């Protein structure tokens, strides 16, 4: 009997090993890759003091010669292929950023620890839907769209949830997903009913119709819901948004490259700071409305020249910042910029950027701050390149940036908001009454 008892653990181990081999036999292929992004450098003014980026908008800035933080993003990905042909992709996104910005789990006090911004699984080539990719977990939407030049995702849906991509409807390809997202500042907020558990999430249903009727037109429909919380009683609990994209052939049909024209509308929870996004409109009113048009493109003009362009115009009605004012106010903003890139030799390039930003905010950040006027920024950046082309990375840059702004946007330029006193603090750029700056720096930017 004792001998039999000693054999039980051994038999279990053998069974586990055999079952593991059987499971392994079901995997026909295993692949591991690592992608990533790194940017890091120094940004200082002519006095030798380190300075912040220069910009007026709550999201985005003309980034060349204008980034003062370090960001490291590592994306490990495992791909499994079964003998039957089913493909599984498992992906994580591990990020450190010296300024924890648009994330939903910067939970430490200084906001500088390593964050897991993605962790999800995807299954495709299933026997009943071979062309559809199903996913669940925490991820960035595959439809997120950004301007590299302006450092801004104007279509951005992130969070935990699930859905599918690339369902062929005949008249269009269809993506659908539901995302639950709560920004850092809201994760400690309770629902109005203290007996309820948890904290409010912005649940967004995201529906994408792509290449409608074989055309270059994409259409996105979004619905939001977020329970009210004690910080913003009376705020919107629902909203809807619409995004239309026209993808041109080349640079507006004039040259090689790419370009797109984007129109966006948001109402309620989908407006204001959440226009084209999820999770950032928790203080919106029921009647907050926003409109935006975008021109985004890159022209390839030959002889080593490529030219990136970006512009948008946005109008907000009954907008209020992350405050609890009873009524909202009006806000208008627009930007336009151009970045010519000249490849002089295979491993040396010159980059130039001119950008203008204009803000007209009747109640900047809800504290009667100054928010009407413009900012002009000009940058020259000699660049060492790994290979030829605007998108080639790594790049090592030295740069000089000159920026000049109107006094009416001094509060918006500095953007230092004190949550404890509900005031805008004095910032480094304009506290001495200056209306311009000359900045210098060096930067590495890498993606792989």
Q: What is the pLDDT of residues 341-374, one digit of tens each?
A: 999 999 999 999 999 999 999 888 877 777 899 9
What pLDDT, on a 0 to 100 scale, did the predictor assign at position 3?
A: 43
Residue 399 falls within a domain, yes or no? Answer: yes
Query: Which DSSP helix (H) or strand (E) runs through 339?
Result: strand 329-345
Q: Under a CB-based contact definition with an 8 Å cutoff, are residues 71 and 62 in contact?
A: no
Residue 119 falls within a domain, yes or no? Answer: no
Question: How far is residue 191's CA from residue 227's CA, in Å, rounded to a whole number?
Answer: 7
The CATH number given to whatever domain includes residue 351 is 2.40.170.10
Residue 91 falls within a domain, yes or no? Answer: no
User: Residue 64 has which token pair?
Assistant: 């060349």
CB atoms within 10 A of CB 28: 12
Q: Under a CB-based contact definition with an 8 Å cutoff, are residues 68 and 39 in contact?
A: no
Residue 134 falls within a domain, yes or no? Answer: yes
C-alpha separations of 139 from 3, 158, 291 in Å: 52, 6, 27
What pLDDT, on a 0 to 100 scale, did the predictor assign at position 256?
A: 96
Residue 1 makes CB contacts below 8 A (sequence gap 6+) with: none
Residue 393 falls within a domain, yes or no? Answer: yes
Measure the N-to-C terminal CA separation of the chain; round to a whole number of Å. Answer: 61
Q: What are the tens digits of pLDDT across the range 390-420?
A: 999 999 999 999 999 999 888 888 656 655 5
Q: Provide the β-strand partners of residue 210.
A: 173
- Residue 128 is classified by DSSP as T
What pLDDT, on a 0 to 100 scale, did the predictor assign at position 23?
A: 54
Domain of residue 362 covers: 129-447
Q: Provide the β-strand partners of residue 364.
A: 369
Domains: count for the chain: 1
Residue 403 falls within a domain, yes or no? Answer: yes
Residue 10 falls within a domain, yes or no? Answer: no
Residue 5 makes CB contacts below 8 A (sequence gap 6+) with: none
Q: What is the pTM of this model?
A: 0.89
Residue 271's nearest CA partner among 309, 312, 242 is: 242
Q: Which residues of the chain have pLDDT under 70?
A: 1-26, 99-112, 184-188, 414-428, 431
What pLDDT, on a 0 to 100 scale, did the predictor assign at position 421?
A: 61
What pLDDT, on a 0 to 100 scale, did the predictor assign at position 188?
A: 66
What pLDDT, on a 0 to 100 scale, did the predictor assign at position 2?
A: 44
What pLDDT, on a 0 to 100 scale, did the predictor assign at position 100?
A: 58
Residue 57 falls within a domain, yes or no? Answer: no
Question: How far is residue 395's CA from residue 382's CA, in Å, rounded to a whole number?
Answer: 10
Respond yes or no on whether the N-terminal peptide bond of residue 324 is cis (omega within 30° of 0): no
Question: How far is residue 424's CA from residue 421's CA, in Å, rounded to a whole number?
Answer: 9
Question: How far is residue 354's CA from residue 413's CA, in Å, rounded to a whole number?
Answer: 17
Strand 152-155, strand 372-385: pairing:
unpaired
User: Residue 24 has which token pair?
Assistant: 């392994």
């Amino acid at each position: 009997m004792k001998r039999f008892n000693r054999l039980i653990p051994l038999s279990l181990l053998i069974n586990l090993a055999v079952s593991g081999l059987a499971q392994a036999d079901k995997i026909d292929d295993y692949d591991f890759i690592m992608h990533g992004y790194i940017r890091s450098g120094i940004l200082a003014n002519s006095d030798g003091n380190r300075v912040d980026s220069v910009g007026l908008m709550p999201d985005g800035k003309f980034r060349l010669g204008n980034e003062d933080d370090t960001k490291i993003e590592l994306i490990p990905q495992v791909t499994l292929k079964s003998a039957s042909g089913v493909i599984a992709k498992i992906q994580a996104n591990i990020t450190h950023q010296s300024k924890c910005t648009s994330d939903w789990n910067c939970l430490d006090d200084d906001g500088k620890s390593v964050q897991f911004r993605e962790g999800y699984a995807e299954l495709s080539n299933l026997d009943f839907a071979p062309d559809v990719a199903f996913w669940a977990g925490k991820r960035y939407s595959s439809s997120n769209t950004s301007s590299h030049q302006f450092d801004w995702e104007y279509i951005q849906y992130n969070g935990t949830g699930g859905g599918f991509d690339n369902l062929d409807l005949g008249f269009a390809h269809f993506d659908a997903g539901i995302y639950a997202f709560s920004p850092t500042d809201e994760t400690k907020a309770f629902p109005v009913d203290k007996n309820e558990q948890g904290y409010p999430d912005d649940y967004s249903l995201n529906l994408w119709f792509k290449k409608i009727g074989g055309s270059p037109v994409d259409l996105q429909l979004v619905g939001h819901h977020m329970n009210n919380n004690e910080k913003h009683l009376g705020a919107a609990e629902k909203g809807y948004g619409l995004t239309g994209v026209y993808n041109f052939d080349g640079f507006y049909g004039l040259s090689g490259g790419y370009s797109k024209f984007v129109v966006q509308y948001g109402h309620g929870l989908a407006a204001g700071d959440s226009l084209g996004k999820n999770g950032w409109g928790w203080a919106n009113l029921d009647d907050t409305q926003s409109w935006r048009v975008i021109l985004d493109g890159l022209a390839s003009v030959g002889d080593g020249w490529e030219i990136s362009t970006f512009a948008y115009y946005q109008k907000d009605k009954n907008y209020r910042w992350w405050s609890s004012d009873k009524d909202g106010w009006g806000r208008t903003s627009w930007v336009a910029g151009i970045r010519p890139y000249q490849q002089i030799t295979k491993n040396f390039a010159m980059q130039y950027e001119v950008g203008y930003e204009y803000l007209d905010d009747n109640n900047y950040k809800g504290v009667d701050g100054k928010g009407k006027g413009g900012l002009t920024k000009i940058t020259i950046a000699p660049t060492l390149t790994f290979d030829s082309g605007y998108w080639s990375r790594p790049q090592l840059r030295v740069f000089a940036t000159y920026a000049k702004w109107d006094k009416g946007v001094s509060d918006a330029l500095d953007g230092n908001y004190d949550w404890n006193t509900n005031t805008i603090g004095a910032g480094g750029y304009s506290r001495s009454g200056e209306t311009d700056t000359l900045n210098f720096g060096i930067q590495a930017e890498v993606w792989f």
